[in-house]
Amino acid sequence: MTILAINGKKIEAAGGTILDVARANGIHIPTLCHHAALAPQGACRLCLVEVKGMRVLQPACTYPISEGMDVQTDSPKVRTARKFVLELLLSDHPKDCMTCETCGHCELQDLIYEYGVKETPFVGDRHLFPPDERDPFILRDMEKCIRCRRCIRACDEIQAVNALTMMNRGFRAKVATAFDTRMQDSNCIFCGQCVSVCPTGALTEKDSHGKGRDWQTTKVATTCPYCGVGCNFDLNVRDGKVVKVTSAWNAPANKGALCVKGRFGWQFLHHPDRLTTPLMKTSFWKEIKGTEGAPSPYKGFVETDWDTALDAAAGRLSAVRSADGPDALAILTSAKCTNEENYLMQKLARKEIGTNNIDHCARL
């Protein structure tokens, strides 16, 4: 056990950084470049603290604790430095929170509020990048980028794609893809991990723009229907409509990460073409019901309900089995199904139908 003092309070801890220990003990230290899912890098300087004996302020997010350490997390010196950094960031930031997609869950906005930075004392150049709307799914508004590099680290550490990097130095330094192309022309796979870690409105979900602020939506936890990994995520719902997908960092299967389909492929939910009832071939319907059936918008199909559709399918399968034996039937399942669903399908094949003709699309 290491014994140290934070703000004069004696604290025992097993190890970790000053930030880890402070947070575990309910001591607030602001952060901006830090993200629990990413390796700390000490870039933004918001978490600066005073460590007794050190000439300059030290970042709590990277500084390991040691025996007898004496830390001040909220001294005037610390507060001045943090306010200074915020004033600098504000001097290179469009002050348009009112129309910003991230307003209300923006970490920069929260800190500017916490430190009461109404005005910046600095006048000078400001980056004037037009919002980059050339890509699908992700809108990059680099004027709002504070260069915390969370996106770069997420792309590297979580997704292992490394589509993003810093380019240039000094004031001209910016986040970019290789050769500064649009994301579509880089090796980006649009997983959106970068969007989910961005603390500001620099990276946002393009299709969610204007559809609802964080506080106007409710989060409905669900599991992704696209594949068998079983990623958990939250449908962000406003007035009965899904407007965005986000994922909690403690989601058991995916730890907050999603793929392009899970994160961005939700528009089909409210698409007019989406099937909401089962359809049955008009000829089949006629064969078993002897009537024309309810017309559907799809040529050659009638609309029906689940009971009717399942009964009809079961009836047909039983008929084939009685006429030609169980091996006349075969079942092919899908990698998109969960393990449990695949298990049930083989049970259906082997136990109910009585055939070993069961296979799976992934076994090519």
Partner 1 sequence: MTIEELERIRTEARQILAERGERFLPDGELKPPRPGEVRVVLRNCGQIDPKRIEEYIAKEGYFALHKILNMTPEQVIDETKRSGLRGRGGAGFPAGQKWFFARQALASRPAPADGAPPAYLICNGDEGDPGAFMDRAVLEGDPHSVLEGMAIAAYAMGATQGYVYVRAEYPVAVEHLQTALPQARRLGLLGKNIFGKGFDFDVDIRIGAGAFVCGEETALIDSIEGRRGEPRPRPPFPAVSGLWGRPTSVNNVETLANVPQIFLKGADWFAGMGTEKSKGTKTFAIAGKVKNAGLIEVPMGITMREIIYDIGGGILNKKEFKAAQTGGPLGGCLPAKYLDTPIDFESLVAAGSLMGSGGLIVLDENDCMVDVARFFMDFTQDESCGKCPPCWLGTKRLLEILTRITRAEGTEKDLETLEYLTQNISTASLCALGQGSVNPVVTTMRHFRDEYEAHVRDKFCSSGVCKGMFHYEILADTCNGCGACRLKCPDKVIKGAKKAVHEIDQANCIVCGDCYKACKFAAIAIRPRPTPKSKLPECG
Contacts with ligand FES by CB under 6 A lie at 31-34, 42-47, 59, 61
CB of 360 to ligand SF4, least distance (A): 29
Of 296, 302, 309, nearest to 283 (Cα)? 302
Closest CB to ligand SF4 among 91 and 296?
A: 91
Which tokens sit at 289? 């019901």
Residue 247: CB minimum distance to ligand SF4, A: 13
Contact 105, 113 (CB under 8 A): no
CB atoms within 10 A of CB 64: 12
Torsion sign over Cα 14, 17, 22, 23: negative
Which of residues 22 and 224 has its CB atom nearest to ligand FES in the complex? 22
Residue 97: both structure tokens together: 């929170």
13 binding ligand SF4? (CB under 6 A): no
Q: By CB under 6 A, is residue 259 in contact with ligand SF4?
A: no
Contacts of 350 (CB under 8 A, 6+ apart): 356, 358
By CB under 6 A, residue 73 contacts ligand SF4: no
Closest distance to ligand SF4 from the beta carbon of 279 (Å): 36
Compute the CA torsion angle 207, 210, 216, 221 (nearest 10 deg): 0
Least distance in angstroms from the C-beta of 257 to partner 1? 23
37 touches ligand SF4 by CB under 6 A = no
E strand intervals along 134-212: 138-140, 164-167, 174-177, 203-205
Using the rule CB under 6 A, which residue among 11, 21, 117, 148 binds ligand SF4?
148
User: Contact 196/144 with Cβ under 8 angstroms?
Assistant: no
| Phi and psi torsions of 157, nearest 5° | -80, -35
Bridge partners of 109, per DSSP, are none
Distance of closest approach, residue 196 Cβ to ligand SF4, in angstroms: 9
Query: Which residues are near partner 1 by CB under 8 A?
Result: 41-45, 48, 56-59, 62-64, 77, 80-81, 84-85, 88-89, 91-92, 121-125, 146-147, 149, 165-166, 168-173
Minimal CA–CA distance to 105: which of 192, 200, 35, 219?
A: 200
Compute the half-sphere exposure of residue 126: CA atoms within 13 Å on the CB side of its CA: 17
What Rg, from alpha-carbon coordinates, does the chain have?
A: 28
The item of ligand FES, ligand SF4, partner 1, none sharing an interface with residue 47, based on CB under 5 to 8 Å by kind, is ligand FES
CA dist 114 and 303 (Å) reads 57
CB closer to partner 1 out of 164 and 242: 164
Interatomic CA distance for residues 353 and 322, integer angstroms: 10
Nearer Cβ to partner 1, position 51 or 259? Answer: 51
By a kind-dependent CB cut-off of 5 to 8 A, residue 194 interacts, out of ligand FES, ligand SF4, partner 1, none, with: ligand SF4
Cβ closest to partner 1, residue 43 vs residue 194: 43
Structure tokens at 102: 């991230």
Closest of 246, 265, 242 to residue 254, by C-alpha: 246
Q: Which listed residue (71, 198, 258, 353) binds ligand SF4 by CB under 6 A?
A: 198
How many residues of this chain interact with ligand SF4, rule: CB under 6 A?
A: 40
- Per partner kind, with CB cut-offs from 5 to 8 A, the member of ligand SF4, partner 1, ligand FES, none near residue 165 is partner 1
102 binds, among ligand FES, partner 1, ligand SF4, none (CB under 5 to 8 A by kind): ligand SF4
Closest CA to 341 of 354, 360, 364: 360
Helices 306-324 and 282-289: angle between axes, nearest 10 degrees: 80
CA 294 vs. chain centroid, Å, equals 42
Considering the rule CB under 6 A, would residue 103 count as an interface residue with ligand SF4?
A: yes
Residue 35 or 140 having the CB closest to ligand FES: 35
Tell me how far, at minimum, the Cβ of 63 lies from partner 1, in Å.
7
- Closest separation between CB of residue 13 and ligand FES, Å? 18
Residues found near ligand SF4 in the complex (CB under 6 A)? 93-94, 96-97, 100, 102-103, 106, 108-109, 144-151, 154-155, 159, 161, 163-164, 175, 183, 188-194, 197-203
